[in-house]
Amino acid sequence: MLPWGCSIVRNIQLLIPNCGKLLAIFIILLMSFIHVVISEKESVQFVIRDTRLGKVKGYVHTVKDIGETERYFGIPYAAPPVGDLRFEKPIDHDGWGDEIYNATVLSPACLQIRSIWEYTEFHQPGFNRQSEDCLYLNVYIPVRTGVYKDDLLEVLVHIHGGSNEVGMGSMLHGDVLALKAGVIFVSMNYRLGPLGFLSGDPKHFPGNYGVKDQVKALQWVQENIGYFGGDRNKVTIQGHSAGACDVGLHALSPLSKGLFRYAILESGSALAYWCVLRYPEFSRKRTENFAKSVGCMKDNLLEVKECLKTVDKEKINNFTFDVTYANFKNWKYIWFLPFTVSTGDDFLPDSPEILLTEKPINGEAFLMGVTQNEGSWGADKFISGISIVHDIGNAIYFIPFSANKYKDLAVAVLQEEYASDIDPNNETDVFLAVSGIIGDSTFIAPAVELADHLAERNKDVYFYSFDYLSTLALTPQQHGVPHGLDLFYLFGTPFTGHKYHKYNEEDKVVSQAFIDMWASFIKTGRPKLNNEKIYPKYIPPEKSYVRLETNNTQVVFTIDSRMRAKKVNFWNHFIPLLQVAMNKNHVECSGTIFYDAMTSVLMCSVFVLTSFSSRVLLL
């Protein structure tokens, strides 16, 4: 029996003879642990700020060797979209009265498919919470001192990617970006999958709830960012991949008018074939199929929507994956956005192409960018090792006449454009050909097309290509810079580290230069380079753009023109002309009608590509 006189309040020297050395060591360690916990708790500096909905409590976070930020996590920007508010546009939150809202803990992600949760977990290791009650945003404020500490700051609002199916606003923290750019950073959750993008009838079931959530968050910024030291008149919206698609649509939507000044599109375009369902009948058919799968098939879409409001959220989540890929169960690799923005409602009254040419465009200036090899992430899953013809055959679904009837023609066209002068036995050559098909059709050509339209409408457009690949990169050097790699440099990950990435000093230099370029655009609407060169506007026919590279560990911004001109012309001009020549306005593809995208690339709703991987490629 231990002598209870051995109390931690006694002198440790008295404990040693009475309790034994081991117990004394244990108690010393215990006291040290308690001291650390108490010290950490006492060292946390909480900050309380007003909002129109009530007071919120955040805290000060220290980024080693960089500075401090105020963090506010999980601030509600709309009422929870549950019960009768499911499948409805977001409405105002009621607030929390005289209480102080605790904004120190990350909110749950919006409901999403568990089987591809790895996308979110990759960015935020260990995070595993999701809920239908998810309309929250996060604010990061750089802590400043000196005579300018009270000046209003520019604001960057981030819209995350993830194919409108997965992800969350806080996948990458905004501390380093906020500190190094000297801006306030805001990120948001928005409804995903069927809960965010199911639609079918402009009057009773208009859909587009996910992007309307984004509009609501932007309205919150306009009404509240002043309480956080931000300038509501200097808001830039930015999105990556599917988030960039959404940003492009906000530039066209009447609902987003006046909510931002500048826009940044990173590896995405409103004109990409995967960005928008352009025909209401396609949206309606999609909704009917989904309703049937969960037992809600009714006489009209209003009744369907009311029934879907009563379906258990887990049932919806479980059925999402099955219904999305019902025809593809024997395939391992899928590139397809089953739930995305549709046309015909108050958010997107018409197709992006028509809105771009006939309606006002929101935003004064646009910064657009891609990576050097957008299609290289996952391209190896297309390669069979059988033959280059077979591998290209796997990719024919990226062109409009990809039905079986035209398979031979499709393969011939792609082989001539991408593989006529390569060694079919060279694995790297084959890989780059296949990744070129994917990257050009999916990201680069649509981005260039959007830049062309914006420039023609006299908008200030700036374009870049992120061509830097670290010597420590996870991907092979010969495969180039894959989709999404630049995102980590934008958020300053080389300065803070990452569970799955390794970085060196050169990576930090690149990250700093990349952030500086963005910061100048966010502040002035015109990006600056880290040398005497002037960042040229993107103006046809020169179509100047900047390539970010390194030379002897120093960042080099190289001015170039007409990005991948031959390949872009192939996708933006030759393919549509070929389609017209075939006189095919609608094409049957595995029994599913798909639609033309005017000057954009068309794509069957099947996009099933032979491979031996179980991963889903997310945009």
* Cβ-Cβ contacts under 8 Å for 144 (sequence gap 6 or more): none
Is 520 an active-site residue? no
- In what helix (H) or strand (E) does residue 555 lie, and over which residues does it extend? strand 554-561
Taking only Cα atoms into account, the Rg of the chain, rounded to an integer number of angstroms, comes to 26
Is 241 an active-site residue? yes
Is 549 an active-site residue? no
CA-based nearest residue to 97, from 157, 53, 161: 53
* Contact of 578 with 406, CB cutoff 8 Å: no
- In what helix (H) or strand (E) does residue 318 lie, and over which residues does it extend? helix 313-324
Choose the catalytic residue: 170, 283, 483, 611: 483
- In what helix (H) or strand (E) does residue 230 lie, and over which residues does it extend? strand 230-240
Choose the catalytic residue: 374, 417, 449, 506: 374
* Contact of 483 with 371, CB cutoff 8 Å: yes
* Contact of 269 with 446, CB cutoff 8 Å: yes
Print the SS3 string covering 24-61: HHHHHHHHHHHHHHHHHHHHCCEEEECCCCCEEEEEEE
Query: Rounded to an integer, what distance in angstroms lies between the CA atom of residue 482 and that of residue 342?
Result: 28
Q: Is 154 helix (H, G, I), strand (E, B) or coil?
A: strand
Which residue bears the tokens 């965010």? 196
* Cβ-Cβ contacts under 8 Å for 569 (sequence gap 6 or more): none
Q: Rounded to whole angstroms, what are the CA distances from 525 to 245, 262, 517, 575? A: 20, 6, 11, 34
Choose the catalytic residue: 241, 253, 441, 511: 241
- In what helix (H) or strand (E) does residue 249 lie, and over which residues does it extend? helix 242-250
- In what helix (H) or strand (E) does residue 546 lie, and over which residues does it extend? strand 544-551
Any idea which residues carry the catalytic annotation?
A: 241, 374, 483
